[in-house]
Chains A and B, each alone.
Chain A
Amino acid sequence: MADNNTTEITPWSFLADSGAENYFAKVDYALKNGRHIQQWKEQAFWFRFIANNEESIKQYYRNYFGVSLEHGGEANEKYYYLDFMPDSRGNIPVDNRHFLQNEFVIVGFMLYKAIFIDNYIELSSVKAFQRILRQDYEEFKEGLFRVLAKAKSLKITQMTEGKMDSTVANAMKAFEKIGWIELQEDNFEVLPSFQRLPKLYADYINNIDEWIKTEATK
């Protein structure tokens, strides 16, 4: 039973919000484009609009599109996104789903490792990141060249280096598109929603020892 003092939350009640006129179309496009929305520059207005109407917007996407409005992070680091749930039978046609290239997943984890695990806290240049990948990770080097530059031979050449660099550059562009980083030419800024990457793979990551065991038995 709805309390008389509170308005009932429906999948459309957010439309009554005074910000809906200004922000809903933009927010809708951004979310469906896979963008993560956080308190960052002009996105902060969108963020607030979602935060104020979270439950209603959530219902809207769940009821009509079969996708889920989710959030990650806490306080200042909080971000919203649409979870497209790969196994669900949502109302979004398969053809319209866009997959993040697998190479980019690997580049993303390398970026995560560099900044959050290895404390390259000042890293903010794509060129510098490319250089780190080419030079600093001896233990991953061969594998990285194989997966990112599709290099068959173990000998690293200028061409494979160029290929790897361009894969990295493209990955950074893809991350910008979904709001994980802000990219301005060579400079980038990692945004709170970048934490979505390990979250996406959390179930594998938490059971990695099992995976590695099966790898060893192959």
Chain B
Amino acid sequence: MKHNDNHTFHFLSEIAKENTYRLLFPDAKAGMAIILLYEKLENGAFPDKFFKESDIHDALLKVSSVNLNNGQYHLKEQYNAIISDLQEYFLRYDEDKQQYSFKEYAYTFCRHAKETLKSFFDPTQIEVICTNLRDKLISCGTQEKVQEWFDLDFSAFKPRLKNQLDYLDKQIDQSVADLRENKRLSLQEGTILDTLRQIDERFEIVRSQNKELRTAFRATEEIRRLLNKYAEQYDSDEIHKGTDAAISFFQEMRHVLLLIDKRLDRIQPRIKQLFSNLNKPLFNVRIEKFLGYLIRNSTETNVEGRKELSLPDGIHPTITSHAVSNFTIVDRKSDLFPAKPKKRMVAVETPELKQKAFATTISQVFQQDDVTRWLGTIAEQLAEEKHVDLSDYFFRIIQEEKGDNTLGLAISVLYRAIKRYEQQQQYKVTINPAVTKSRQGIKTRLWQITIQQK
């Protein structure tokens, strides 16, 4: 079933329009009257499901007199306005019959509220629904039928099952709240024992209901299998999506059942403990007094710069244990001996490798020659001009020399020159960071380095 997504529906802005919200959720008086009529419809007071305007008036009167308590307070005008509003979503007026009936929204509105309040528990109902769901799914012969099962049957079942689980959870909540409430009321009257007993029994009931629900749930296992089968059979995105959603829904519900069980597991032993605590209300009162005394009279003291709390004078501290010595384990490491053999590297000599190694060595030797030659040139210039700009040499070497390591050569030359002339007193080597030298086509830049004969 493809939905037309071109037109997106904005619930919030839609309901915010004019009176829409008020018309969907009428005020208490109108709403109560509708519910009164609903109950009458359910009870068969209107066999053909039609009622007269006077019935609505009666209903309105009845619900207002409940609140106003002044009998005949009745404004026809006002009632007509209410009825006209209700006609939007709740009431349909049949002009031929001159009678009213409920629109579907009115039924849903009342039914939903009723079911929420009523909290019924009926695992048999769930069982019947599960079995029906399964049978229907079995009889699905086409992809369309399976899709229909998702859209109609399954989606109707989901809220009903959830309601049942909510109901169980609510029962526990209610019991726990009752217990706390009752404790306060009945301490004097001594009825807490009865309350506890009742609550303990109620928990037993919830537990058995939980179990029943799980039994009722058995058919879902088969539904899951069928769904997987269909998902394989019909290669459709919609079916796959539906199957995934249904399976995770069942998983989630199973999880909730488990949680309810766990919750009971946790609470029930405590109820038992409360039983044993009951015969000492006096002791409990004293405990509370003692606690108050401790809180009021404990004082802070400074112990070696740390703030520590001291109990009131005369109350001894609690010793809980004495430190048990820790063993220092002297362990013979089992992985040390015998030593594990290490893999030996065997160097394989090949003529290629040999040649490569030789070439590297040779080029290093040749570079030494080049360095010496350049140092000679620098020395000559220095003797003649008493001044050499090493930075210029750096770029000259890179430009004039051939080979793949001219930069390395240039660096070596400069390094050796600086080192040589720095050691001699008659020369002065100056590195001037203020002047940066560079040459076109060479990425490297360097500060000006000069050698001056004194």
Task: Please list the residues of chain A having a beta carbon within 8 angstroms of any beta carbon in chain B.
Answer: 29, 32-35, 77, 84-86, 92-93, 96-103, 105-106, 109-110, 112-113, 115-122, 124, 139-140, 143-144, 146-147, 150, 174, 178, 189-190, 192, 198, 200-201, 204-206, 208-209, 211-212, 215
Decide yes or no whether B78 CB sits under 8 A from chain A: no
Q: By the criterion CB–CB under 8 Å, are B263 and A102 in contact?
A: no
CA distance A74 to B317 in the complex (A): 26
In the complex formed, the residue of A with least CB distance to B176 is A122
Decide yes or no whether B27 CB sits under 8 A from chain A: no
Assuming the A-B contacts A77-B276, A100-B317, are A140 and B322 also in contact, with contact meaning beta carbons closer than 8 angstroms in the complex? no
Q: Which B residues from 175 to 214 make CB contacts under 8 A with A?
A: 176, 179-180, 183
Decide yes or no whether B297 CB sits under 8 A from chain A: yes
CA distance A204 to B286 in the complex (A): 9
CA distance A118 to B276 in the complex (A): 15
Least CB distance from A114 to B in Å reads 11
| Chain B residues, CB < 8 A from A178 | 320-321
In the complex formed, the residue of B with least CB distance to A83 is B319
Assuming the A-B contacts A112-B287, A121-B271, A189-B266, are A147 and B321 also in contact, with contact meaning beta carbons closer than 8 angstroms in the complex? no
| Chain B residues, CB < 8 A from A122 | 176, 263, 266-267, 270
Q: By the criterion CB–CB under 8 Å, are A84 and B319 in contact?
A: yes
CA distance A85 to B319 in the complex (A): 8
| Chain B residues, CB < 8 A from A100 | 317-320
| Chain B residues, CB < 8 A from A33 | 321, 324
Decide yes or no whether B283 CB sits under 8 A from chain A: yes
Q: By the criterion CB–CB under 8 Å, are A117 and B266 in contact?
A: no
Least CB distance from B290 to A in Å reads 5
| Candidates A35, A86, A116, A212; contact of B293 at CB < 8 Å | A212
CA distance A190 to B322 in the complex (A): 23
In the complex formed, the residue of A with least CB distance to B307 is A150
| Candidates B179, B276, B290, B298; contact of A204 at CB < 8 Å | B290
Q: Is the interface of A mostly helix, strand, loop or mixed?
A: helix
Total number of residue pairs linking A and B with CB closer than 8 Å:
142
Most buried by B among A32, A100, A147, A200: A147
CA distance A93 to B322 in the complex (A): 9
Please name 5 further chain A to chain B contacts, defined as beta carbons within 8 Å, in addition to the given A93-B322, A96-B322, A109-B291, sorted by A numbering: A32-B322, A99-B320, A143-B292, A208-B290, A209-B289
Q: By the criterion CB–CB under 8 Å, are B284 and A117 in contact?
A: yes
In the complex formed, the residue of B with least CB distance to A140 is B295
Decide yes or no whether B259 CB sits under 8 A from chain A: no
| Chain A residues, CB < 8 A from B379 | none
Least CB distance from A105 to B in Å reads 6
Q: Can you name 9 A-B pairs with beta carbons within 8 Å?
A: A34-B320, A101-B309, A102-B311, A109-B290, A110-B291, A113-B288, A119-B180, A143-B292, A200-B318
| Chain A residues, CB < 8 A from B176 | 121-122
Decide yes or no whether B122 CB sits under 8 A from chain A: no
In the complex formed, the residue of A with least CB distance to B277 is A116
| Chain B residues, CB < 8 A from A32 | 321-322, 324
Q: Which 4 A-B pairs have the closest CB atoms?
A: A34-B321, A143-B295, A34-B320, A100-B318
In the complex formed, the residue of A with least CB distance to B175 is A121
Decide yes or no whether B274 CB sits under 8 A from chain A: yes
CA distance A97 to B320 in the complex (A): 8
Least CB distance from B327 to A in Å reads 11
